[in-house]
Structure 1
Amino acid sequence: MANCSPLALVVNCGSSSLKFALFDTSMPAPLVDGLAERLGSDEATIRFHIDGTRRTTPIAGAGHQQAFDALLAFLTDHGLSARIGAVGHRVVHGGERFTTSVEITEEVMAGIAECAVLAPLHNPANLVGIRAAMAALPDARHVAVFDTAFHQTIPEEAYLYALPQRFRRDLGVRRYGFHGTSHRYVAGRAVEFLGLDPKDHGLIVLHLGNGASATAVRNGISVDTSMGLTPVEGLVMGTRCGDVDAGALTYIARRAGLDVDALDAMVNKESGLLGLSELSNDCRTLEAAAAEGHAGARMALDVFAYRIARTVGALRMPLARLDAVVFTGGIGENSASVRASVIARLGFLGMNLDEAANRATTGGNAGCVSGPGRPAALVMPTDEERMIACDAASIAFSNAPVAFSVFAEAAE
């Protein structure tokens, strides 16, 4: 801990949680990371991971401010808090206003609040974390990093819905896309891994987890993505339905007597892998059940893989060429069977599976899981916290760019 370089703290604040990681930008791994969860309840705890050890402390009844105070006290005890020069905050929705990461001002906070109508479960919680961090670390520079910003390069023809345009003008109804920080990080790492020209390449990144999305990246720029106004659109997910005929929803609402709130709950919390399998939203549970003959689990996994492959086919269109399909996220990084099922459906692209490499690539390892030739199939672990730290440091530390390769070692 003798190094005296400035540190970047990453904060990802949910409605009842606060995830954090502290980076020295000259080092590949975080100095400290952890999670405060069940905030506001008697079961609230905060967990720290430092120097290979883990420690969990009860903070009964603590809210976000108290959790942040506990974090700051821990960092102070370890001689780290005084070195924090930048704080990067994950913000889910930046609307059309925020096209890149920005230093947080009162005006920026007002803009984040205005976008809360597009992400009512997330942006308000993100603002709570921002205010708590700014109160605890008033001398640091605070930076907002938006999930939607990477996708603001998508052209109008791709982001418009064929709805009356008064809803676009008056309510901001259009496709925005999400998981942008993950897609950006993974695309950059894939370019490094394959030795591609940063200004001349084509990738499709598949962020597969309980939430799932796909993005076409041309020369480092997002040109289309599967999620839309909300994270419901696109791929089948853990409990979200993904693409569905809007007429099917109005039919269900009328026949089943569902109001708007009940319909919203159904498509967000009762659908996806859970709804198809009638068993679980967890891919690991479904894979185990399918192996034992559970028909619903097998069907859910087949639909999941088919929709991913179909989306890859659609996202191939806006790319001049396709160098690789890149798997990331909890499922993408760890489920060899899902990757195999998707790749088996992508033979029309000339892609084939290296079964041994696919079985061996899991648990946070990066690697190529396809046979020779292009497009390749890659597994590339994501690291949204590292990407947020990179953005925060590049803005806060004399606006000097933080080289992407500073963080590359951690993903190798």
Structure 2
Amino acid sequence: MLVFILNAGSSSLKYQLMNPIIKKVFASGICERIGIDGVLKHEYSEDKELKLDIAMPTHKEAIEAVLSTLTSGEGKVIDSINDIEAIGHRAVHGGEEFSASILVNDRVIETMKKLIPLAPLHNPANILGMEICQELMPGKPNVAVFDTAFHQTMPDYAYMYALPYDQYTKHGIRKYGFHGTSHFFVSNEARQMLDRKHNTRIIVCHLGNGSSVSAVHDGKCIDTSMGLTPVQGLMMGTRSGDVGAGALQYMMHQENMTIEEALDIMNKKSGILGISGKSSDLREVLEGMQNGDERCRLAVDMVAYNIKKYVGSYVAALDGVDALCFTGGIGENAALIREKVCAGLDAMGLVLDPVKNNKRSKVARDIATNGSASRIFVIPTNEEYVIANDTFKVVTESR
């Protein structure tokens, strides 16, 4: 089955064309600056690339440009859009309504619209991508794959906030978690690397511009760091992560801010960027630290310390750990962050091998010492494969 994978953002659109049965990617790319001018970056035939300036006033023109590039001209990989058998969509927030991937219909779209207050930056773009694909490729099945679905197995004592209970019953205020497709993929890969399907205790650190940690027992999430929104949890590229409500209130009073202005700071001007004053890109901050920049050093130490605290708490929640996994741009590439996170975790059975840790590789690998009681894995994530595979399963089961 040839699946068109779509990840629609507010001003960008990532895509991939994949056969999940044989795990073959035919093309991938991104549309950027939608609504401004429009740039299409298209990768195909393994090592070929195209960069096209195409007017994209709306997402519809962006998707039309992608379909045209896939079926004609230099970047052509298929003869017709009829070769596409299904469309898989990344959907950020499914609330409590969606605990698994689902075939898109009017009811699904209407339910997602009701959830927009929980993800005002993401759900509208996700819905728009679905509606445009229904218009441009009528009759083709569309499947929504939710970031939140994997975390729906959390027990109530893990996902509830200690607010008045009616805030949950009236407004659905609780922890939902995100990056679910990545946590699902990496935890399953770890189980295979452990060669065990049962009684597995796995901690996944998805570390990138957005970061989260999950505790996974026997393939099911029992806790995760992100909450009602993605700002809770770890310190990230521009997000603050955990901040006490009192600190937020005090900042608002001191700076005479509205709640919207305060949240904008917490989401877009905090985290690695806010502390370093240099960049939200950890690579630039690590370089600054090496050049003696004290604020960059502080940002790096804070990032590692925050991750380490969550790892330790999840070892307790899981009653031990069989594998600690690192994934995402930072998790896969920043050896120093992995070293700092694992330092002192020997008593928990996690002993990092510094030589293995500093070897670069694009494949999954074990970087623990041979004598380590628990394993430490670096596993490249593949969220697109999860979306494509879920789409294949949902469409096949619906026939």
CA RMSD across the alignment: 1.4
Gaps of at least 5 residues in structure 1 are 1-5, 401-412
What is the TM-score with the length of structure 1 in the denominator? 0.92
Cα deviation, 1:305-354, whole Å, max 9, x if unaligned, reads 11111111111122144111000000000111111111114233122221
Q: In structure 1, what is the Cα distance between the partners aligned to 2:217 and 2:345?
A: 20
CA contact (8 A) 2:203 2:215 kept: yes
Over the matched positions of the two proteins, sequence identity in percent amounts to 41
- 1:80 to partner: Cα distance: 5.0
Q: In structure 2, what is the Cα distance between the partners aligned to 1:230 and 1:348?
A: 33
Q: 1:368 aligns with which of 359, 366, 369?
A: 366
**1:388-407 equivalences in 2 (<5 Å):** 388-398=387-397
CA contact (8 A) 2:177 2:230 kept: yes
- 1:25 to partner: Cα distance: 2.2
- 1:62 to partner: Cα distance: 3.5
Q: Look up the match of 1:377.
A: 376
CA contact (8 A) 1:214 1:311 kept: yes
- 1:399 to partner: Cα distance: 5.3
What is the TM-score with the length of structure 2 in the denominator? 0.95
Cα deviation, 1:137-179, whole Å, max 9, x if unaligned, reads 2122110000001001101101111111221111111100000
1:113 and 2:96 are equivalent in the alignment: no
Q: In structure 2, what is the Cα distance between the partners aligned to 1:264 and 1:122?
A: 16
Cα deviation, 1:330-381, whole Å, max 9, x if unaligned, reads 000011111111111423312222111111134x331111112331111000
> Which residue identity is paired with 2:332?
E
Q: In structure 2, what is the Cα distance between the partners aligned to 1:130 and 1:193?
A: 36
Q: Look up the match of 1:407.
A: none
Q: Which runs of 4+ in 1 moved over 6 A?
A: none
Q: Look up the match of 1:17.
A: 12
Q: Look up the match of 1:169.
A: 169
**1:199-214 equivalences in 2 (<5 Å):** 199-214=198-213
* SS of residue matched to 2:85: strand
Paired residue total: 392
**1:159-308 equivalences in 2 (<5 Å):** 159-196=159-196, 198-308=197-307
- 1:396 to partner: Cα distance: 1.1
**1:92-131 equivalences in 2 (<5 Å):** 92-131=92-131
Q: Look up the match of 2:35.
A: 40
> Which residue identity is paired with 2:154?
I
* SS of residue matched to 2:358: helix
Q: In structure 2, what is the Cα distance between the partners aligned to 1:359 and 1:249?
A: 39
CA contact (8 A) 2:9 2:126 kept: yes
- 1:41 to partner: Cα distance: 1.3
- 1:398 to partner: Cα distance: 4.3
CA contact (8 A) 2:320 2:348 kept: no
* SS of residue matched to 1:62: coil
- Provide closer, same or farther for how the CA distance between residues 345 and 309 of structure 1 changes in structure 2, counting only shifts above 3 A: farther
- Provide closer, same or farther for how the CA distance between residues 28 and 80 of structure 1 changes in structure 2, counting only shifts above 3 A: farther
Cα deviation, 1:267-299, whole Å, max 9, x if unaligned, reads 111111112222221110111111111111111
Q: In structure 2, what is the Cα distance between the partners aligned to 1:20 and 1:67?
A: 11
Q: Look up the match of 2:67.
A: 72
> Which residue identity is paired with 2:61?
Q
* SS of residue matched to 1:360: coil
Cα deviation, 1:34-61, whole Å, max 9, x if unaligned, reads 111111112x021221112111222124
Q: Look up the match of 2:75.
A: none
Deviation larger for 250-259 or 314-323: 314-323
CA contact (8 A) 2:276 2:296 kept: yes
* SS of residue matched to 1:31: strand
Q: In structure 2, what is the Cα distance between the partners aligned to 1:195 and 1:374?
A: 15
Q: In structure 2, what is the Cα distance between the partners aligned to 1:201 and 1:106?
A: 39
Gaps of at least 5 residues in structure 2 are 73-77
